[in-house]
Amino acid sequence: MVKKKLKPGVEICPLCDLKKTRFFMRENNYILFKCRVCHFAFRKDRISEIEEGFSFQNEVRSAYQAIDKSIDEINQRLALRIINFLKQYGLRGGSVMEVGCGSASIGKVIQRSFPELAYIGIEPSGYFPSVEKNPELTILSTAKIDDHIAPESQDALIFNHVLEHVPDPRSMVPYYLRFLKPGGLVYVEVPNEQWKKIITPLMRFVRGTSSGMFAGHINFFTQKSLHVFVSAFGLEMRGGGL
């Protein structure tokens, strides 16, 4: 008797809605599938770190506080790159909204280095302690956004390392795009992580564990799948790079 191979469940690609996906990899509680058409990979259960309750656990909260400074340091360098991008595509001033601003380390650099640009940060999660220490920056929770920001009022939007954390990025992005002026700029940066599939078994062999490789991530874009994603909102891709 030959044991039948179990057919993996058919998963629908959350980006292009096609059923042409395949099992990609497994890492602890992460089961990732990948779309054969748009090359997007995704966590099968679509559970965000907030839904898992993980960010509200004390140990995770303190871990975020412990790394808050180093995230700030990384983001300060990144902020200059974002400012250069915005200037390169013609932004001279006006207003920029950063969605998922964390501790607003990018906002601080924008205020200092590009004072012609008014910065508004949106942070829904509430576990970045240094936000409260920066009263000079405008940081809003998602619930207050409609009271403070008019539709089509922003010259630019920033999504910096946000889309990989969101269970439904196809709903989230248009929610914020309504605040963008026609012809406005959008800066999107996501990690490129599908290559980690190759080193995961090696990590397990060397360190005995591969946990923490995708902390909190649900979505794994490639350049191609990011292009598919942004094109669906009528955005035109400029200056993409790895």
Binding site for Zn ion (CB under 5 A): 13, 15-16, 35, 37-38, 40
Comparing CB distances to Zn ion, the nearer of 42 and 179 is 42
Beta carbon of residue 193, minimum distance to Zn ion (angstroms, whole number) = 17
Beta carbon of residue 102, minimum distance to Zn ion (angstroms, whole number) = 29
What does the alpha-carbon distance between residue 97 and residue 186 come to, in Å, rounded to a whole number? 10
Beta carbon of residue 40, minimum distance to Zn ion (angstroms, whole number) = 5
Q: Which amino acid appears at position 209 of this protein?
A: T
What does the alpha-carbon distance between residue 228 and residue 223 come to, in Å, rounded to a whole number? 9
Comparing CB distances to Zn ion, the nearer of 15 and 188 is 15
Beta-strand relationship, 117-122 and 94-99: parallel
Q: Dihedrals φ, ψ of 121, to 5°? A: -105, 140
Give 179: exposed, middle or buried? Use CB within 10 Å, 0-12, 13-18, 19+: buried
Comparing CB distances to Zn ion, the nearer of 77 and 170 is 170
Comparing CB distances to Zn ion, the nearer of 102 and 169 is 169
Q: Which of 87, 124, 84, 82 is nearest to 106 (CA)?
A: 82
Kindly state the tokens that stand for 86: 């915005």
Comparing CB distances to Zn ion, the nearer of 37 and 47 is 37
User: Could you tell me if 214 and 27 are in contact, meaning their C-beta atoms sit under 8 angstroms apart?
Assistant: yes
Q: Dihedrals φ, ψ of 156, to 5°? A: -155, 155
Beta carbon of residue 38, minimum distance to Zn ion (angstroms, whole number) = 3
Q: Dihedrals φ, ψ of 205, to 5°? A: -70, -45
Comparing CB distances to Zn ion, the nearer of 160 and 222 is 222
Q: What SS3 state is found at 172? A: helix
Kindly state the tokens that stand for 204: 């397990």
User: Could you tell me if 155 and 186 are in contact, meaning their C-beta atoms sit under 8 angstroms apart?
Assistant: no
Beta carbon of residue 240, minimum distance to Zn ion (angstroms, whole number) = 18
Beta carbon of residue 7, minimum distance to Zn ion (angstroms, whole number) = 20
Comparing CB distances to Zn ion, the nearer of 40 and 114 is 40
Beta carbon of residue 225, minimum distance to Zn ion (angstroms, whole number) = 7
Q: What is the DSSP letter of 166?
A: -
